[in-house]
Every structure is written in structure tokens, then in C-alpha cells.
Amino acid sequence: MHDLAAAANDRVDAIVADTLALCAVESPSRDAAASRRSADAVRALLVDRLGATVTEQTIDGHVHVRATWGAPRVLLLCHHDTVWPLGTVDRIPLADGDLVSGPGTVDMKGGIAIAVHALAMLREAGGDAALEGVDLLITGDEEVGSPTSRPIIEASTARAALVLEAAAHGGEVKTGRKGVSIYRLEVVGRAAHAGVEPELGVNAAVALAHAVLALTELGDAAAGTSVTPTVLQAGTTTNTVPASAWIAVDVRAWTVAEQQRVDDAIRALVSPLAGAAIVVHGGINRPPLERAMAVDLYTQAAAVAAELGFEPLRETAVGGGSDGNFTAGAGIPTLDGLGPWGGGAHADHEHAVRAAFAPRTALVAGMVRRLLED
């Protein structure tokens, strides 16, 4: 294993350079032209570093890039889209130092570079045969909920998924992620003149207020389940009883059972205000990544880290979702957070720690080699 650690150290400048090159090609999720340019940059990297045969799927303007060697057994999962609008790199320039900083560095183009160089090290040591069984999938819509890539991800036949999202701040890999549900509750009432005959109306705003209180009762802090009303709107004019109102709701849960409990309860909501109706849109977006789906891979990764001579590998669980939620939900053992550690994802101070790139690349290479040998 020490050969991997040395090889990763030797190529850290190239890993960082590739990260910054990918970041320089901006890729907001909903911009089809930007997604195309970013996918071209990813394709060029895969061809240059891996000699890969690259395939693509473009769905609703989102470009998903893939390189596969033989029948997939190990899925490496990344995304090349970001939350940043075009022009952000002019406002927040990319920089290389102790911190590799700028939009997209830690979320998650640094992870793409790590995945590519981890595979490149294995290929340099053993040729394409060393990658037999690897499936590298780099999607283009993760930041908007993976609406077009989710079926592709869930159709994977791999026996293990390694997700190159950023590690936690201390370098911990992620063995748990909360499931995410997203709802929009529409309340239908009846309009009336607020001054002349308010009694003839059914006030959707009042009905919405009751719904908000009912929603807040569905959370369970002890179980780690949050039900959070976020954006809401009611009414049209100040002198009209509101005929309609709506609210957006964010739900997070550690377990499938809790996520389903809340979903059932939201769909069963009935307004206590006579004449008002509640219509529920949305639902479960990402199932949880429960630790049971990650613990075996984490144990193996910890053993690889020890063989590489690294500090003990730690684990954590986080509230945010990733595409690892989908692989776990599809029954594929999944280990997340294998990208670099840093901070500021989705914020102006986004950065990856430069010292993270070499050990993470060696760890991913070691995990892929171990899983393929198994």
C-alpha cells in the first residue's frame, strides 16, 4: 500500500491543477450550455489521464459522463455541476496555496480529480486490467436534486459505491446521511371581500397557519427528524379573504422508517377550517444513507488507511444529502465523503485543504484495488 501513498504524493501538483482546471469551466446545474462545456472538460480529463472510452447521456440539458471498464463491480460517483452562476470565478478567483480555493473546489471538482488520479495510479501500475470492474459516473444535476441522473444511479449493478463528495472538516468519511423530503402544501379556500362579506370566504391563510402548527408537531428531535416550514405565501390583495396559500416544507430523517412516518402524516393532514382543503405536492427526494449500508466499507477503508500509514480514519454522519443516498437506497453498500476536506461549500470562502489531496487519492486507489481483488 505504501506504493500508493508515494505515488499520490508525487502527483499532488497535477491533482490540484486538474481540480482548478475543472473549476475554471463553470457549470451551474440549470445552464445546458455550461453543462456541455463542463462535460467536455471532464471528458478530456478522462481521456488524457486514463485513456478512457467515455460515454455520455444528455437529459433535459444535464450531461452525465461515464467511463466503465468491464462489468461494473465498484461505482465511483461524482458530479460536475455546481451551485455557482456564470461569472463567479471572476468575482472569486481560483487560488492554489495551503488552501485550494474558489467555487467548486471542494464541492466537488476536487473529488473528480481525486477519483481520476486514483484510477490513473492503478492503471499505471497494472494497465487497463487493473481497472476491470470500475464504473466512474460523473453526473451533471446533483445540486438540483439529481432529477435526471437518479434513474441512472439507481440502475447500477455495482457491489459497492464510493462517493467522492467532500469529507467532513476533520477528514472524516461519511457513513450516514439524512434522507431528504421536499413538499409544497397548497391550501385551497374561497375568496370574499374582506370588508363587505368576509363571512362568505374561507381564509386560506388561516388554514395555512393551522397547517404550519401541525407540521411543526411532526418533528422528533430525539430521533433527529426535522420538519421545517420554509417559504410561504398567501393572498392577493389586502382587502380580499385569501382563496389560496402555499408553503414549502423541508424534512430530514436518519432512517427510512422516520422518513416514511412523516410522509404518511403530511399526506394525512386535514384542515380544521371548514371548507379549506390541503393538496400535497412533492414527497421523498432522497432516502437516508443509513450506517448499516456503510459500515463494512468503512471498516475496509480504515484498514486501507492503516496499511497506507495514515492516521486512523474517522467517520461521521451529516444532515445533507448526496447521490450516495440513492445508491444506499438501491441496496448498494455505500461509503461517502471520500473527497478532500475543506470548508465553505456553497459559500464565498469555498476551499479544499491542499494537504488532503494526496492521502485521499491514495485511499481511494487502495479501496478500489481492495474491492476489485475481493
Known catalytic residue at 18: no
Rounded Cα distance between 327 and 345, Å, is 22
Give the residue ranges of DSSP H helices in the chain.
2-10, 12-24, 32-50, 88-91, 110-126, 150-154, 204-216, 256-267, 295-307, 324-329, 357-373
For residue 244, what are the β-bridge partners?
A: 188
108 preceded by a cis bond (ω within 30 of 0): yes
Would you call 81 a catalytic residue per the annotation? Answer: yes
DSSP tag of 130: G
Altogether, the residues listed in the chain come to a count of: 374
Do 7 and 121 meet the contact criterion of CB atoms below 8 Å apart? Answer: yes
Residue pair 207/245 in contact by the 8 Å Cβ criterion: yes
Per annotation, catalytic residue among 26, 107, 141, 142: 142
Query: Is 62:35 a contact under the CB 8 Å cutoff?
Result: yes
- CA torsion 189-191-195-198 (nearest 10°) is -40
Amino acid at 290: E
Cell numbers at residue 365, please?
486507489
Question: Which listed residue (18, 81, 143, 336) is catalytic?
Answer: 81
Helices (DSSP H) in 323-356: which residue ranges?
324-329
Q: Are 371 and 73 in contact (CB under 8 A)?
A: yes
Encoded amino acid at 62, one letter: H
Please, what is the Cα angle at 246 between 243 and 250, to 5 degrees? 165
**DSSP-assigned letter for residue 313:** P
CA-wise closest residue to 108 among 348, 321, 355, 338? 338
Sign of CA dihedral 84, 246, 226, 155: negative
In whole angstroms, what is the distance from residue 26 CA to residue 324 CA? 24
Report which DSSP code applies to 84. Answer: P
Catalytic residues: 81, 142
